[in-house]
Structure 1
Amino acid sequence: MTHAFFEPPATSRYALRKLSAPRCLLPGDFAGSGADSELAAIDLLVDQGRVAAIEPAGTLPAELGPDLDASMVLPGLLDCHTHLDKGHIWPRQANPTGDGAGASMATQRDRQARWHAEDVRRRMEFGLATAYAKGVVAIRTHLDSLAPQAAISFPVFREVRERWAGRIALQVSSIAPLDIFLAEEGRHLADIVAESGGRLGCVTRSTRHPGDPMPPDLDEALARVFQLAAERGLDLDLHVDESTDPRARALIRVARTAAAQDFAGRILCGHCTALALQTDEFIEETIAACKDAGIDIVSLPTVNMYLQDRSPAGRTPRWRGVTVLHEMKAHGLRVAVAGDNCRDPFYAYGDHDMLDTFTQAVKILHLDHPLSDWIRAASETPAAIMGLDLGLLKPGMAADLLVLKARNYSEMLSRTQFDRTVLRAGRAIDTTPPDYRLLDDLMDA
């Protein structure tokens, strides 16, 4: 095993004493101790793999477990937007331009040539093994769904989901250009998604009008997506306005379509980067429409900062490429951050580590001064969006925890927590990520 900074007692009932925990993730009536407005000093009792009690620090007897000297404890984190089917193809299919157009073309080339069932399965499981080692407890992945890929990848996903049950809770969404839903292919895809217990998803771009961020068939196709989802009782998970073009204003159209159809399902919209380029008045109008429609938002800060406003060598990007997350949260929208792509043409880096994603999000999106309850964006909020009872520290929850050597947010955000202890059902797991060499035979050019 890698060198986690401590091992919990081997007994089925033990205490982790003198921890620091985010107050926003503790039970509402928990006062705790300590002067820190964001962290509470607690003792945590584990019994038979579950959190049995949370008490003010110093309450539980010393003989029950170690004094952890204010080490931070977090619940297992959640990644509600990623692409496990694309992951880890960078060594064989790099993106020569580093921008979104180059990423789409490179991915298409690789998908058409290489994405048979075993290739998808092995890369998907490699990503899951990495996320598990990092302390991620739930993932929603999008699967590229243009025919014939959906018929290949969704059965693989169903098998992998069953194999990983009890380790990582897995959800799935389709991703395809919006206009396929105006044809029979869209109806067939909706049936595959329903068969897989997934979410119906697409991008708000049309292959019929590839250069237009607001294609003429946008409203008709959106209406059809909502109709197909409603007929099958599916939630929606959409890629919206992932663009540096201020003409991209699809988010408000999604919200208005939801309202017009009185859509009863959940709606998650990802990216929404072009909204940050609009006027304050239009931003307010769009956020209000999203609130009325019950739309949740997920920002992908590392990937969007990497892709957006990229130009040929020699020009520095002028903006961070992320959406107006502060304003959305202030207006009552549920907002999350997630990992998105990993070592593929859309993002050359990443390691399926939601603690690292949150750490970078704090810096990219200025989720600090104060940090307040922003940790919820990687824990409780994606859990609520995904409909899962996860992401909190409370009695009765499975003891799926991250225990960090860092004693406060400053230490956590300043130094990568490679020596974290990851507990699953109260037991420490091996936090060694899988070796990239395991994929070498898939990486031949």
Structure 2
Amino acid sequence: MTTGFAALPNSTSCRLANARVPACLVDAASLASDRDGLTLVDIAIGDGVIESILPAGVASLEECPSFDLDGGIVLPRLVDVHTHLDKGHIWPRRRNPDGSFMGALSSVAADRETNWTTRDVRSRMEFGLRCAFAHGTSAIRTHIDSLGPQIGISWPVLAELRAEWAGRIALQGSPLFGIEAVADAAHMRAVTDAVKAHGDRLLGCVTYMIPELEAALDTIFRIAMENGFDLDFHVDESNDPAARSLESIADAALRHRFSGRILAGHCCSLALQQPTDEARILAKVAEAGIAVVSLPMCNMYLQDRQAGRTPRWRGVTALHELKAAGVPVMIASDNTRDPFYAYGDLDLVEVLREGTRILQLDHSDRDWAAAIATTPAALMGLPDHGRLGVGGPADLILTRARDWIEFFARPQAERTVLISGKAIDRTLPDYRELDHLMSTDA
């Protein structure tokens, strides 16, 4: 038996001994877990498929190549349910002038108007996919800016990349535009047609408090129901307690008896509600079956930013309270190297690591790993992703960390990613590859 990572699997059949896995991600109810929610197992892989997950030391490991992971944490490849691949990596040519939300909106709008050709969007989206793949992501949902001529540019690119990346990353797309555009019937026809032709039966928009909000939500719910679409909203990305469009979405879902999946992203202002208002909204969200994804790194970057003033809150939603109310909760990457978030690399290990700090997920439930794995996979309709199960693909992330403290203390840059039991090349793309797209006059 080989100890540690001195040698890595080079075939699709092997045994991984003494792997420490999150019990919440394993399809094996009989496995006992420790105080961190981790359990020590041996994983048998045959022809790229997980053949067994058994308590460590129970089965013989001599019949094929075996690797002793010495208690290192093993995760399934992970699921990123909220990203913006089409915006990614434009920072060098279009910075956020002041780090504010409005600064991000105006900078992205100007860059989209000037630069978002088929070649540009495709190059940047593919760069992002290469980063996510190297870090160990198996599925991504990206929002696609869907305004005017951009609809005809970005959606065909998404369809091409989805086909090209099949088997490496499952790629979904959801349209993105402001809620006021719902009143434009021609726009909604164009978006609906693009989703039907190139998309994944998803519809969505950015919601905020406008006088026509209820009517606009009725329209978008009606279109979704007529076409069998699920819904994915950007919601209340604000520190204004009066921003309560999440409650309006829940009301609309209940009013229409909507049976599809609904995901609400951000929901920042929920954390600033008075207790009675928060309780009412949480109850409606749970009753409506809405799931919520928090984007901790991006929202801490944007929210409560004022020049010369230290921020007073972290910008994130009431994730613990949502979870306690029975709402499925997730965290995700959001933006990368663009005016909405200057940093990031579509690395869900980083998202969980930083999300644990920002949202104080420690000293809490032991199943938060599900927020970047099984929970978003279920929301995306991908039951084989984000979990460790017999008969499932041996798509794994191997680390040397033996508990969550070791895991979060370092970036896990030396992790190994397996697909069908074989280690992949984790070399990240060089930012210089995008230099030809970055004009200095923007």
Structure 2 counterpart of 1:428: 423
Q: Does 1:57 align with 2:56?
A: yes
Q: Pick from 373, 379, 391 the counterpart of residue 385 of structure 1.
A: 379
Give the C-alpha shift of residue 12 in structure 1: 3.2
Give the C-alpha shift of residue 335 in structure 1: 0.4
Q: Pick from 277, 283, 290 the counterpart of residue 288 of structure 1.
A: 283
- AA at the equivalent of 1:91: P
Contact 1:236 1:265 in 2 (8 A): yes
User: Which residues of 2 match residues 3-42 of structure 1 at below 5 A?
Assistant: 5-32=5-32, 35-42=34-41
Q: Does 1:201 align with 2:204?
A: yes
Contact 2:207 2:235 in 1 (8 A): yes
Q: TM (normalized to structure 2)?
A: 0.96
CA distance in 1, matches of 2:103, 2:421: 44
Give the C-alpha shift of residue 193 in structure 1: 1.5
Q: TM (normalized to structure 1)?
A: 0.95
The CA deviation string for residues 22-69 of structure 1, in whole angstroms up to 9 with x for no partner, is 11112242325x744511010000110111100111123343402111
Q: Does 1:338 align with 2:332?
A: yes
Contact 2:151 2:190 in 1 (8 A): no
Give the C-alpha shift of residue 6 in structure 1: 4.5
Contact 2:9 2:421 in 1 (8 A): no
Contact 1:187 1:228 in 2 (8 A): no
C-alpha change, 1:23 and 1:180, in structure 2 (3 Å) is: same
CA distance in 2, matches of 1:438, 1:197: 28
CA distance in 1, matches of 2:349, 2:221: 34
Structure 1 counterpart of 2:45: 46
Contact 1:268 1:297 in 2 (8 A): yes
Gaps of 5+ in 1: 206-213
Structure 2 counterpart of 1:154: 155
CA distance in 1, matches of 2:7, 2:177: 45
C-alpha change, 1:6 and 1:161, in structure 2 (3 Å) is: farther
- AA at the equivalent of 2:43: L
> In structure 2, the residue corresponding to 1:287 is in which secondary structure?
helix
Q: Pick from 362, 367, 387 the counterpart of residue 356 of structure 2.
A: 362
RMSD (Å), alpha carbons: 1.3
Give the C-alpha shift of residue 230 in structure 1: 1.1
Contact 1:6 1:421 in 2 (8 A): no
Count of matched residue pairs:
432
- AA at the equivalent of 1:436: Y
User: Which residues of 2 match residues 319-338 of structure 1 at below 5 A?
Assistant: 319-338=313-332
CA distance in 2, matches of 1:117, 1:262: 39
Structure 1 counterpart of 2:175: 174
Give the C-alpha shift of residue 195 in structure 1: 2.1
CA distance in 2, matches of 1:31, 1:71: 17
Counting aligned pairs with the same residue, the percent is: 49
Contact 2:207 2:234 in 1 (8 A): yes
Q: Pick from 179, 187, 204 the counterpart of residue 189 of structure 2.
A: 187
Give the C-alpha shift of residue 295 in structure 1: 0.5
The CA deviation string for residues 231-255 of structure 1, in whole angstroms up to 9 with x for no partner, is 1111110001000111101000000
The CA deviation string for residues 194-215 of structure 1, in whole angstroms up to 9 with x for no partner, is 222331110014xxxxxxxx11
Contact 2:11 2:422 in 1 (8 A): no
Contact 1:17 1:60 in 2 (8 A): no
CA distance in 2, matches of 1:5, 1:387: 34
Structure 2 counterpart of 1:210: none
CA distance in 1, matches of 2:116, 2:7: 40
CA distance in 2, matches of 1:305, 1:347: 9
The farther-off stretch of 41-50 and 177-186 is 177-186
Give the C-alpha shift of residue 426 in structure 1: 0.6
Give the C-alpha shift of residue 179 in structure 1: 1.3
- AA at the equivalent of 2:174: S
